[in-house]
Amino acid sequence: MKQDSRIIPILQADQISRQQAPSAPVGGVAAPPPLTLYIHVPWCIKKCPYCDFNSHEVPDQLPEAEYLEALTADLEAALPNVWGRQIQAVFFGGGTPSLLSEATLDAILMMVRSRLPLCILPEITLEANPGTAEANRFKGYAASGVSRISLGVQALDDAQLLALGRIHDASQARHAIDLACQTFERVNLDLMYGLPEQTLSQWRQALQEIRGYATGHLSLYQLTIEPQTVFAKYPPKQPDDDTLADMEDVITDEIVSHGWDRYEISAYAKRGQQCQHNMNYWRFGDYLGIGPGAHSKLSFQDRIIRQARTRNPQQWMQNALRRDDSHITHDATIERQDMPFEFMLNALRLKEGVPSDLFESYTGMPLREISAPLNRAMDEGLLSEDPTRIVATELGWRHLTTLQSIFLPENL
């Protein structure tokens, strides 16, 4: 096949980098990418009707001691896979991690620090529910080392919050935002649009209010109906497609035009406020996930693997404490033909894309192996012809699923 001249500079850079860097065995990497730690806290006060995450209604008494013991066993079992590697960021996700007491959160971080080397001043994120009881714990979390709070606000209208099945009201949300901004320098607010019966003016008003808070990061999502949720069984009436498109345009008017950069499909940040754990994830970096249902992606010289833990919290605790790997329900090597799609599925979500040489560094595959889909994506105007970066064009970002699918195994 004739080589497309547009990717020759990329391939020449690829050849130079391979001459200068140590070669990696097929299916692995010469040096592992950055590593972050994800800790899953599975309990919620109530399961929201739109939620398809691994969350479970909290029992009468939160089993914090048992959870900590099992989490310790889970991490210790994983240590051989990450031995000597430094953790760049920590992310507590859920569920509702802010259900944990300050003492338990502190004990978890002490346990992690005693077993894994953390970088200097790592970003430690904790997802929180805006309910007043959890919000009042913020100072204790900060004292333990949490440096970033991600608040699941979702809406600032009582009727909309009720329709979403949230346990907090708008006044609690506003109180939690104020308290978070007083306590932490890094605060993310989750907000959804396309809510049942939501109007365009209501969405604009919500963004204008959010803009007034001293937060540096926003996660703005369209409500989607996921399988196996209550909303899938009883679909709410959402705005029509034209209104949804207008709602996305309003984000540009009210957020992007006022100092937030849309650096990822659903993420908006002021300068220096990007989420470090998520940035590593989107760049195809490594992450170790512990806790029920947590996922990991780990790189070695001879392979790159994905793992998943037992989803049920009680079963996970029982299995983790056996210390026999029975808490691992999935442990598989990423096949070479699947690597390009896995890489692009993440990297192309970033507005700036990634440096071209990151593909080989993080997959162990030379860039020339994907010259055919690269050519096709550029021919269709979906991928930039910049030889130094793999980055979607504006058209590619609008049709991201189409662009990503070009890198499926059958298209290599």
The string of pLDDT tens digits covering residues 222-271 is 999 999 999 999 999 999 999 999 999 999 999 999 999 999 999 999 99
CA distances from 304 to 19, 33, 115, 156 (A): 22, 11, 23, 42
**Percent of the chain residues past pLDDT 90, beyond the cut:** 90
User: What pLDDT shows up at residue 16?
Assistant: 37
> Do residues 387 and 43 make contact, with C-beta atoms less than 8 angstroms apart?
no
Q: Are 288 and 78 in contact (CB under 8 A)?
A: yes
149: Cα within 13 Å, side-chain hemisphere: 30
CA-angle at 58, arms to 52 and 62, nearest 5°: 135
pLDDT value, residue 131:
82
Domain boundaries, the chain: 5-24+337-411, 35-282
Instruction: For the domain covering 35-282, report its CATH number.
Output: 3.20.20.70
How does 273-299 read in b/e, with b if 16+ C-beta sit within 10 Å? bbbbbbbbbbbbbbbbbbbbbbebbbb
Q: Which of the four pLDDT bands, split at 50, 70 and 90, describes residue 345?
A: very high
Task: Count CB neighbours of 264 within 10 A.
Answer: 20
Q: Are the CB atoms for 323 and 265 separated by under 8 Å?
A: no
- pLDDT bin (cut points 50, 70, 90) of residue 28 is confident
367 C-beta neighbours (distance < 10 Å), count: 23
**3-class SS of residue 202:** helix
* Predicted confidence band of residue 135 (pLDDT cuts 50, 70, 90): confident
Instruction: State both tokens at 404.
Output: 């990503």
> Quick one: which of 123, 234, 134, 241 has its CA closest to 177?
134
Q: Which of 272, 334, 275 is nearest to 305 (CA)?
A: 334
Rg of the chain, C-alpha, whole Å: 22
Give the per-residue pLDDT at 15. Answer: 44
Per this entry, what is the length of the chain?
Answer: 412
Residue 54 has pLDDT above 60, yes or no: yes
d(CA 378, CA 407): 12
Read off the pLDDT of residues 276-296 as tens digits, 9 standing for 90 and up: 999 999 999 999 999 999 999
Per-residue pLDDT, 27: 65
User: Distance between CA 82 and CA 34 in Å, rounded?
Assistant: 11
Percentages (nearest 5) of helix, strand, coil residues in the chain: 45, 20, 35
Peptide bond into 272 cis (omega under 30): no
Q: What is the pLDDT of residue 132?
A: 60
Using a CB cutoff of 8 Å and minimum separation of 24, what contacts does 395-404 make?
A: 396/348, 397/265, 397/351, 400/265, 400/348, 400/349, 403/344, 403/348, 403/377, 404/341, 404/344, 404/345, 404/348
Q: What is the mean pLDDT of residues 398-409?
A: 96
Average pLDDT value for the chain: 92
Examine the pLDDT at 207 and tell me if it is beyond 80.
Answer: yes
How is residue 354 written in tokens? 């990634």
In this predicted structure, the answer to whether residue 23 has a pLDDT above a threshold of 60 is no
Mean pLDDT to the nearest integer, 66-85? 97
Per-residue pLDDT of 153-184, as tens digits, reads: 999 999 999 999 999 999 999 999 999 999 99
Q: How far is CA 339 from CA 26, 281, 304, 335, in A?
A: 12, 15, 9, 7
Residue 30 to residues 25, 285, 303, 361, Cα–Cα distance (Å): 8, 14, 10, 7
Q: Which residue has the tokens 């391979």?
A: 18
Conformational region of residue 350, where left means phi above 0, alpha means psi within -120 to 50, and beta covers everything else:
beta
Kindly state the percentage of the chain with pLDDT values over 70: 93
133 falls in which pLDDT band (50, 70, 90)?
low
Give the model's pLDDT for residue 10.
47
Q: Within 10 Å of residue 205's Cβ, how many Cβ atoms?
A: 14
**Quick check: helix, strand or coil at residue 115?**
coil
* pLDDT tens digits along 94-124: 999 999 999 999 999 999 999 999 999 999 9
pLDDT for position 19:
41
Q: How far apart are CA 43 and CA 313, in angstroms?
A: 8
Mean pLDDT for the stretch of residues 194-217: 96
Which contiguous run of DSSP H or E holds residue 332?
strand 328-333
120 HSE (CA, 13 A, CB side): 0
pLDDT surpasses 50 at 412: yes
